[in-house]
Amino acid sequence: MNGITIMQGDQYPLQFTLVSENSAAIPADTVGEIEVTVGPLRKTLTAGEIVYDNATGTFALPLTQEETFSLDARAHKMQVRIRSTNGEVIGEDAGTLTVRAAQSKAVL
């Protein structure tokens, strides 16, 4: 999830895959928990706020209009923390989410 740009009020999932330090894909069945933070927002897998798509092999971080409106128009640091089923926890910077200002603040 590196270098993403959205506008305040956007609503759609951010798709991502998990890779190890040597760029190998991390199998979903070895993941016990995922925490993603984007600025002040925090979402987790076990709370159902992050979902896994077996067909595509990707995770999705859904963002609502209210959530993207709550983000200031600027670059926000993103981080991902993963707890594996064996108990190891690894955190990584995941780039930035740049939010552009919306003229309208109405939820559609």
**Residue 13 confidence (pLDDT):** 95
Task: Report whether 101 contacts 9 (CB < 8 A).
Answer: no
**Residue 47 confidence (pLDDT):** 95
Q: Which residues contact 63 (CB under 8 A, 6 or more apart)?
A: 6, 10, 11, 12, 13, 14, 41
How far, rounded to the nearest angstrom, does the alpha carbon of residue 68 sit from its chain's CA centroid? 12
Residue ranges of domains in the chain: 4-100
Computed over its alpha carbons, how large is the radius of gyration of the chain?
14
Strands (E), the chain: 4-7, 12-16, 31-38, 41-44, 51-53, 58-63, 75-84, 89-100
Superfamily holding 4-100? Immunoglobulins (2.60.40.10)
pTM of the model: 0.89
- Using one digit for the tens of pLDDT, what is the confidence trace for 40-60? 999 999 999 999 998 888 999
